[in-house]
Amino acid sequence: MHSQIAIEARGLSKNFGDLRAVSELDLDVPRGQIYGFLGPNGSGKSTTIRMLCGLLTPTSGTADVLGTKIPGNAKLLKPKIGYMTQKFSLFGDMSVQENLQFIAEIYSYPKKDRKPRIDELLGKYDLEPQRKQMAGTMSGGQKQRLALACAVLHHPELLLLDEPTSAVDPQSRRDFWANLFRLAQTGTTILVSTHYMDEAERCHRLAILDNGVKVADGTPRELQAATGMHILEVIADDPYAAQAAIAERAEIASVTQLGVRLRILIPERYANPIEIVNNALASKNVSGNTQMATPSLEDVFVAVTMKPEDRSK
């Protein structure tokens, strides 16, 4: 494996009975970057993460994670990896400090270094005031910071985060991402799954998963530049009537209402997208202002996960 690649997966697949949760996944995750998995629930994100950290054995395919072959000796990986699940999985009836002490014991962290390391983490993750507080009584944001502190206590090379911000407020999410960028700047590789578009945009690179299949892979900017779609916005006095009129046209791949605005995707092979939309509105006597828009990651996601018959309109 190339030394600049932290994770290299080829043909990684996982079946649960008749269900194919992950199918023929190829992945290259560079070291020291934040790599995102974007996809709806059930798209295979959690299954992939569990295979990569050795918790699940692939049905077929292989991966090289930090120089360790998967499937293989996953025990070699444990000291190199930090893993944070969506659900708070620490001990609610133990204090913040006791949880960190317990994690230090699990990872056989050198005894003489434990107290300085725990003190450092309490300061770094703004948990000093909660040092003696029972973890179960903390807010969602505090629990999240504690879970991250526990995941990085042993200085892992790779941090695997499975939808880590699904239960916290927007400010806590922003603070959490600030901590992730600091970790990446010091060389930690981070693989994070999310279904939030704004979080995906913060990743250095990301893969979009749909029904266990990787449908796109690249930097957010690369993906936005390669939607294969014209993106338009319409502001109409009657958005519902405008949406109905536009959706009738065969050239329209997708039309979505966002407040008073409509977001429209038309395949790039149609050369006159504004004319198509304006003609649709005029045919139903609906007034609206149509203009081209720059692609967002949500547009990318809609484009790459839509049914083949919609893409080929």
At 156-198, the pLDDT tens digits run 999 999 888 876 778 888 888 999 999 999 999 999 998 888 8
d(CA 243, CA 240): 5
pLDDT in tens, 91-128: 888 999 999 999 999 888 999 999 999 999 999 999 99
Beta partners for 292? 232
pLDDT of residue 199 exceeding 90: no
Q: Where in the chain is the domain with CATH 3.30.70.980?
A: 227-311
Residue type, 113: D
Q: Across the chain, what does the average pLDDT equal? A: 90
Give the pLDDT confidence score for residue 309 in this predicted structure. 54
Exposed/middle/buried for residue 266 (C-beta within 10 Å: 0-12, 13-18, 19+):
buried
CATH topology of domain 5-223: Rossmann fold (3.40.50)
Return the percentage of the chain with pLDDT > 90, whole number.
67
Q: What is the pTM of this model?
A: 0.86
Q: Where in the chain is the domain with CATH 3.40.50.300?
A: 5-223
Give the pLDDT confidence score for residue 164 in this predicted structure. 83
| Domain at 227-311: CATH architecture | 2-Layer Sandwich (3.30)
Give the pLDDT confidence score for residue 133 in this predicted structure. 93
